[in-house]
Structure 1
């Protein structure tokens, strides 16, 4: 018996061991019996998680492993979750797949009366997940202010619930001042904005949760709490238990939001289960993941209740086999309402829950990206959809990172990876054995067999063939000048030549100014701009068609049909009206600056950058960043809001005459 066989092997300098009936990993048993529970992946961690004393020394650890296995088998025999029948179905499937613990777990489950009514493998967890309900628009929030003294009283209540002493003077003053951002604003585009520095240990989280919770209760959803790191996001979610002690209520009123790539995709999971049953993926690892899915609160695989060590329990995939990394929702791959699991999707549940929650705990990147996209759509009069978010009250914790987050969120990159992903989003996966539905699969039945929409769809699929296809990275690093295929790959190769000629030697990211560009780069840029225009025009036509379909079918479309159209429309709109025009604008300035700096836009800084992996250039990017990223931050996030709190332990510069001057500039407050 071991704890985490693969990690133990690496520490011993050995190759990961193959699965064997003679090697029993107690961590696998823990993952089956207590899915979603925390433990450190070691003998000591297992002992502590089960309430035993921490073992000291190798002999004690060996005994602790044996005791942990006995305790876990007794627990699964007595109180299996979510039901004895379902746990038994999964255990029998894993036993047939050669799981070392299979027979003893099956015996433990059958030690008590059990019904044989469960007729599936148990891995089809998507059939037993609760569906989300769409309650409709939440309406505009109210404008009732939060009196400062009420915020202090609420802080005292929260501290009492947490079993802490009464509020310290500094913490009470913080809560009193934070109430300012929850007043009604007086003028358009002028939010009530407060910069608040609070040193570590003052208790600023409860300090702003106190007025935020009062405002949400009085006015309706939602106050968004934005962090820069996942660690603080998890901390705030834990501290929200003081607001909502009941777990069910907390799941409804304090929602964590992340990007789609953080959540398990049920369609990906189903595909891997089918693959595993044919012997081309790890059935045992997927069975343990199935147990977690049924226990998970929100399907978050990066910081939620998904154990960080669980992917390490998967067998190392052989060539051509699917791996655990394919479980998440990859960018551009979601088919929204066209998916069989749309009604149980974890991402869709989080989106809808956030529209009704009192507190939404998100991150700077998501807040800024969502505000920019929703603001652009609202400015064009686009119809509201299920993902539209009103960011009226926002607390930026870790506020000293707001400038850096804005710099990243509002930047643009034209690279091999980005353009290859655009091709896959349009044409679908062109690699055998990999899932990825293109526009034809998503829209074919909506646009019909003929007409302008069908022609536009055919045109965009054809035009996307000029974007980088499979193997583009290898062709970029090839010494053969004839290797690039298509205008984008030719442009990437020209950027690589300029990088090698002008960039300082570096192991990871060589970079150089974009202008003056080499003649071959300018010529390739013109061809890329033309190719992108050929994609943009039919995408716009498709977008307008779907927008008209939503307007004309307001009374006839079902909720599922509307959701499907809205999901596809967001992807079309983002690429046709934001990404592609931005790329073409960058390329046009490169062309204009061929003979000097005349084509440069004073609001932006442009450069070429390479990505070096194992000594070879794996990608090249034409990057554009705002000289002052607070300009788009103010326009898209701050001005539409009614109240903004930017807080951190390190906002001010004590050596400056005005300690908050730099913070005001970097947060958009001036």
Structure 2
């Protein structure tokens, strides 16, 4: 806990303090109850913003924490031309901020401001990838998957924002992953001026907002993502932003999970099978008619299954879902050389490809195979 000064004095701080007073603007809100702890918290947040320093606050239930940090954050963002980023752990709190607290402040604060929810790019359908998937449907999808693809195409023509939240029925993950926005394919350079691109249009709205609400997981994904850093320019997760972490007791756990390196049996299999799925005989190697790539991908899936089965046999999960590995040579490494060979094959196919969009797709999977290695 950071100790707070007994007296917090500037004009900005006093304006925030007055807002929460018994006769201040907030007193006109429905069900208002004067809470001295809420007033002091708001003044402390205002002071920390003004002095550009960190602040840690622990407050009990019923204090009114959300309004206490939102009010000075909105005012500071508007007056200093900055962007307030509020990160939460739960969807419930995000909904409270967006549909309860922020609407209250829009009615009461003496300034106009815009707030928006930040969603990960894979929540958005990519019109360019959808168009390409429809063209290559026979090589990429089974019959039922093609039906799902056609359903998504029909939805894409009428959707308001192109995100999963606008879909009435959750899509087949195997189809959605082939048509959603991808970092190295849907970029500011390639899609920034395309009015059809739902993700880039959403990003423009975010850049124009004063307050962004985000979850901890996506926050740390953006913080460590090189491609996201390239698009930042003057703000939207620094350098001209300031950050408020609500439900901060969960941050350490979320950060360690996102900042660390992870690989899963399902994730690796998914990457390989997007190049070639031996069961369905579909994939990008089918599109490119590359027999060697087909062979390498099919063999690697079987090899990966055996590798993870060996790992599981060496781990004791009787005490829980986690097992700490203390020996670097827990099992023989039987897949790195195969991953290297598959990555090299993808690179060869990229060199022969004339289609720039297909190249971008293949290069994306090449990067993922490299990361898995």
The normalised TM-score by structure 2 is 0.68
Deviation at 1:240, TM superposition (A): 1.3
What is the CA deviation profile of residues 408-436 of structure 1, one whole-angstrom value per residue up to 9, with x for unaligned ones?
A: 111222334333444467x58899798x8
Query: Aligned match of 1:493 in 306, 331, 351?
Result: 306
2:15 maps to which residue? 150
Task: Provide the aligned C-alpha RMSD in A.
Answer: 5.3
Q: Distance in 1 between matches of 2:106 and 2:125?
A: 26
1:101 maps to which residue? none
CA contact (8 A) 2:123 2:181 kept: no
CA contact (8 A) 1:221 1:355 kept: no
For structure 2, the residue ranges without an aligned partner over 5 or more in a row are: 1-9, 138-142
Q: Could you say which structure has the larger radius of gyration? A: 1
Query: Aligned match of 1:301 in 164, 169, 191?
Result: 164
CA contact (8 A) 1:148 1:180 kept: yes
Deviation at 1:369, TM superposition (A): 1.4
Deviation at 1:344, TM superposition (A): 2.9
> Cα distance 1:581–1:526, how it changes in 2: closer, same or farther (>3 A)?
closer
1:366 maps to which residue? 218
> Cα distance 1:528–1:147, how it changes in 2: closer, same or farther (>3 A)?
farther
2:7 maps to which residue? none
2:102 maps to which residue? 240
Residues 41-60 of structure 1 mapped to structure 2, 5 A cutoff: none
1:180 maps to which residue? 47
1:253 maps to which residue? 114
Q: State the secondary structure of the residue aligned to 2:262.
A: strand
Residues 91-130 of structure 1 mapped to structure 2, 5 A cutoff: none
CA contact (8 A) 2:48 2:55 kept: yes
> Cα distance 1:363–1:147, how it changes in 2: closer, same or farther (>3 A)?
same
Q: State the secondary structure of the residue aligned to 2:66.
A: helix
1:410 maps to which residue? 259
1:345 maps to which residue? 197
Q: Distance in 2 between matches of 1:171 and 1:360?
A: 22
Residues 239-318 of structure 1 mapped to structure 2, 5 A cutoff: 239-245=101-107, 253-265=114-126, 281=147, 293-294=159-160, 298-302=161-165, 306=166, 310-311=168-169
CA contact (8 A) 1:198 1:204 kept: yes
Q: Distance in 1 between matches of 2:172 and 2:347?
A: 38
Q: Distance in 2 between matches of 1:345 and 1:528?
A: 36
Q: Distance in 2 between matches of 1:526 and 1:286?
A: 36
Q: Distance in 2 between matches of 1:509 and 1:241?
A: 42
> Cα distance 1:269–1:390, how it changes in 2: closer, same or farther (>3 A)?
same
> Cα distance 1:210–1:198, how it changes in 2: closer, same or farther (>3 A)?
same
1:66 maps to which residue? none
Q: State the secondary structure of the residue aligned to 1:493.
A: helix
CA contact (8 A) 2:127 2:197 kept: yes
CA contact (8 A) 1:498 1:518 kept: yes
Please say if 1:171 is aligned against 2:19: no
> Cα distance 1:325–1:424, how it changes in 2: closer, same or farther (>3 A)?
closer
Q: State the secondary structure of the residue aligned to 2:253.
A: helix
1:419 maps to which residue? 268
> Cα distance 1:429–1:346, how it changes in 2: closer, same or farther (>3 A)?
farther
Query: Which range moves more in the overlay, 223-232 or 526-535?
Result: 526-535
What is the CA deviation profile of residues 79-103 of structure 1, one whole-angstrom value per residue up to 9, with x for unaligned ones?
A: xxxxxxxxxxxxxxxxxxxxxxxxx
Please say if 1:336 is aligned against 2:192: no
Q: State the secondary structure of the residue aligned to 2:32.
A: coil
Please say if 1:227 is aligned against 2:85: no
Residues 185-204 of structure 1 mapped to structure 2, 5 A cutoff: 185=52, 192-204=53-65
CA contact (8 A) 2:192 2:200 kept: no
Please say if 1:397 is aligned against 2:207: no
CA contact (8 A) 2:87 2:219 kept: yes
Deviation at 1:255, TM superposition (A): 1.1
What is the CA deviation profile of residues 174-224 of structure 1, one whole-angstrom value per residue up to 9, with x for unaligned ones?
A: 101112331354xxxxxx211111222211111111111111111223110
What is the CA deviation profile of residues 628-668 of structure 1, one whole-angstrom value per residue up to 9, with x for unaligned ones?
A: xxxxxxxxxxxxxxxxxxxxxxxxxxxxxxxxxxxxxxxxx
Deviation at 1:258, TM superposition (A): 1.5
Deviation at 1:511, TM superposition (A): 4.6
Residues 451-466 of structure 1 mapped to structure 2, 5 A cutoff: none
Q: Distance in 2 between matches of 1:526 and 1:365?
A: 29
Q: Distance in 1 between matches of 2:293 and 2:11?
A: 53
Q: Distance in 2 between matches of 1:369 and 1:496?
A: 29
Q: Distance in 2 between matches of 1:383 and 1:291?
A: 28
> Cα distance 1:323–1:417, how it changes in 2: closer, same or farther (>3 A)?
closer
Q: Distance in 2 between matches of 1:269 and 1:419?
A: 23
Q: Distance in 1 between matches of 2:90 and 2:192?
A: 33
1:517 maps to which residue? 329
Q: Distance in 1 between matches of 2:343 and 2:156?
A: 44
2:29 maps to which residue? 162
Q: State the secondary structure of the residue aligned to 2:87.
A: strand
For structure 1, the residue ranges without an aligned partner over 5 or more in a row are: 1-144, 186-191, 313-321, 442-460, 470-484, 542-560, 585-670
CA contact (8 A) 1:175 1:207 kept: yes
What is the CA deviation profile of residues 350-381 of structure 1, one whole-angstrom value per residue up to 9, with x for unaligned ones?
A: 2222222110001111111111224x986xxx
The alignment covers a number of residue pairs equal to: 341
Q: State the secondary structure of the residue aligned to 1:393.
A: strand
